[in-house]
């Protein structure tokens, strides 16, 4: 467990979760309760990893005006803070959790405008930090002002420093980073692939098209951990595919399920687990998150109770 992990969140968010049983659009809804959690994908990943016993640091951009909620969170969860603090406020996002329909509705805002000098400051900080870490996890959307090429730039620095690099983002930021060849692991879902790859959008047989695309992407990345919601997940690697089932659970909120999944997987790999066991650990962490509201993940417990409910199927492909 001594291997240090750094997560990068360029566009954090304070998640305002509103619990609305039976939520319906185009009607008056009554909220049962609400809560605010410091979130953003990389911060969620970091929190879950720290809860799992890892030594974790966080970086990215944070707004000065509402930083207190994040600073408290970092202290409570033993996250080493290397954020670049920028003028203004970190965005808030709205998450409507409907425990009856087991449906979550996300409304995410674009975030603060980042200037060139702040990008340079982060690059400088990241360059000095990276060699101290076993793994770097790059997560979430890019705020306005940050170019699509930025994750690729960070990945190249991290790889040169000897780190394992995982990426969970979408749109052109994902496509551009994959093209650099500097990413070890990506964690897309099918919608994210469909958004950027025409062959998935146009496919009449989507699972088959995803298989074909994944094999092609393996020329650029080492692993693709495709998350499939309640259908589980599939890991593509060079020469193998591993499927993990998802346990049947009553879902309170899906916000952060993908982040907990990535934390479980990257953490397990850093601990030296085999890929199949790592995928099982990831699914088990995600399941544990789904049984609670809110994000931030500071309530997530190491989820041993789900491990024996997850089935793994390993298929070797010819070289």
Ligand X SMILES: Nc1ncnc2c1ncn2[C@@H]1O[C@H](COP(=O)(O)OP(=O)(O)OP(=O)(O)O)[C@@H](O)[C@H]1O
Helix (H, G, I), strand (E, B) or coil at 253: coil
**55 a catalytic residue:** no
Taking CB under 6 A as the criterion, which residues in 50-109 touch ligand F1X? 93, 106, 108
Q: State yes or no: residue 119 binds ligand X (CB under 6 A).
A: no
Binding residue (CB under 6 A) for ligand X from 270, 290, 297, 300: 290
Shortest CB 124 distance to ligand F1X, Å: 23
Q: How far apart are CA 310 and CA 317, in angstroms?
A: 23
Q: How far apart are CA 194 and CA 197, in angstroms?
A: 5
Identify which range of 114-122, 136-144, 257-265, 266-274 contacts ligand X by CB under 6 A: 257-265
Q: State yes or no: residue 169 binds ligand X (CB under 6 A).
A: no
Total binding residues toward ligand X, as defined by CB under 6 A? 22
**Residue with smallest beta-carbon separation from ligand F1X:** 39
Q: Going by C-beta distance under 8 Å and a sequence separation of 6 or more, which residues neighbour residue 79? A: 43, 46, 47, 50, 56, 57, 58, 73
Task: Compute the radius of gyration of the chain from its Cα atoms.
Answer: 19
Binding residue (CB under 6 A) for ligand F1X from 259, 260, 261, 290: 259
Q: How far apart are CA 18 and CA 94, in angstroms?
A: 7
**79-81 vs 84-86, strand pairing mode:** unpaired
Taking CB under 6 A as the criterion, which residues in 227-246 touch ligand X? 227-230, 232-233, 246
CB atoms within 10 A of CB 265: 30
Identify which range of 10-18, 65-73, 146-154, 260-268 contacts ligand F1X by CB under 6 A: 10-18
Q: Going by C-beta distance under 8 Å and a sequence separation of 6 or more, which residues neighbour residue 175? A: 148, 196
283 binds, among ligand F1X, ligand X, none (CB under 5 to 8 A by kind): ligand X
Instruction: Specify the residue, 137 or 246, whose C-beta has the smaller distance to ligand X.
Output: 246
Q: How far apart are CA 268 and CA 275, in angstroms?
A: 8
Helix (H) or strand (E) holding 318: none
**Residue 136: which of 167, 104, 160 has the closest Cα?**
167
Identify which range of 5-13, 159-167, 251-259, 267-275 contacts ligand X by CB under 6 A: 251-259
From 37, 168, 243, 259, the catalytic residue: 259
Taking CB under 6 A as the criterion, which residues in 272-311 touch ligand F1X? 295
Tokens encoding 112: 């603060």
**Which residues have a catalytic role annotated?**
259
Report the interface residues with ligand F1X, using CB under 6 A. 11, 13, 15, 39-41, 44, 93, 106, 108, 140-141, 255-256, 258-259, 295
């Amino acid at each position: 467990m001594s291997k240090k992990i750094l997560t990068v969140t360029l566009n954090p968010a304070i998640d305002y979760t509103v619990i609305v049983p039976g939520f319906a659009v185009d009607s008056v809804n009554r909220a049962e309760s609400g809560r605010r959690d410091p979130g953003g994908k990389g911060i969620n990943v970091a929190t879950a990893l720290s809860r799992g016993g890892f030594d974790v640091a966080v970086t990215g951009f944070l707004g000065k005006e509402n930083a207190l909620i994040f600073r408290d969170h970092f202290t409570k969860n033993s996250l080493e803070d290397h954020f670049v603090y920028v003028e203004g406020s970190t965005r808030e996002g709205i998450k409507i959790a409907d425990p009856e329909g087991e449906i979550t509705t996300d409304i995410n805002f674009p975030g603060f405008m980042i200037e060139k000098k702040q990008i340079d400051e982060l690059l400088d900080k990241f360059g000095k930090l990276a060699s101290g870490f076993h793994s770097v996890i790059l997560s979430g959307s890019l705020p306005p002002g940050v170019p699509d090429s930025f994750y690729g730039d960070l990945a190249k620095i991290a790889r040169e420093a000897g780190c394992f690099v995982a990426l969970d983002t979408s749109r052109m930021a994902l496509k551009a980073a994959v093209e650099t060849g500097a990413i070890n692991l990506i964690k897309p879902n099918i919608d994210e692939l469909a958004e950027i790859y025409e062959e998935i959008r146009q496919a009449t047989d989507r699972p088959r098209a995803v298989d074909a695309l994944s094999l092609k992407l393996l020329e650029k990345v080492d692993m693709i951990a495709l998350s499939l919601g309640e259908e589980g997940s599939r890991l593509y690697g060079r020469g193998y595919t591993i499927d993990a089932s998802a346990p049947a659970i009553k879902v309170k909120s899906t916000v952060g399920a993908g982040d907990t999944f990535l934390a479980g997987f990257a953490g397990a790999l850093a601990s030296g687990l085999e890929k199949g066991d790592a995928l099982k650990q990831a699914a088990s962490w995600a399941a544990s998150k789904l049984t609670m509201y809110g994000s931030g993940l500071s309530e997530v417990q190491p989820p041993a109770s789900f491990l024996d409910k997850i089935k793994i199927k390993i298929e070797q492909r010819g070289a």
